[in-house]
Amino acid sequence: MSKLLETFIDPKKNFLARMHMKAISTRLRRYGLRYDDLYDQYYSMDIKEAMNRLPREVVDARNQRLKRAMDLSMKHEYLPKDLQEKQTPFRGYLQEMLALVERERKEREALGALPLYQRTIP
């Protein structure tokens, strides 16, 4: 990544990036979500594979957060303020596994091996 782009998207160096991150954090806290919860496993097979490799407790916690967020959204409510303060929206749990899956896929493609998974029509 170029130095200019890094400076532009780094919240520590750019005021607008910091404002954007704060706005996203506020919206995620209202519903008790984490940023990694927004990844859709039907969007990419890499995301689906990374989700399958995560421990069961992590996936269950993610599903519980998503259910709570949908319930709050349908009721047009937010989490109570004291619970919003306890939320950690940028504590990641999927990024490392997703990076590993993407590296493995690229390595398999470079070696000419068959893909680990195929897209299927649901």
Mean pLDDT of the residues in the chain = 89
66-71 CB contacts, 8 Å cutoff, 24+ apart: 66/33, 66/37, 68/31, 68/32, 69/31, 69/32, 69/33, 69/37
Q: 95 and 56 in contact (C-beta within 8 Å)?
A: no
State whether residue 23 is helix, strand or coil.
helix
Select the more confidently predicted residue: 60 or 3.
60
pLDDT bucket at 119, cuts 50 / 70 / 90: low
For 49-92, write each residue's pLDDT tens digit: 999 999 999 999 999 999 999 999 999 999 999 999 999 999 99
Domain segments of the chain: what residues? 3-111
User: What's the confidence (pLDDT) of residue 73?
Assistant: 96
Q: What CATH number has the domain spanning 3-111?
A: 1.10.1090.10
User: Residue 12 pLDDT > 80, yes or no?
Assistant: no
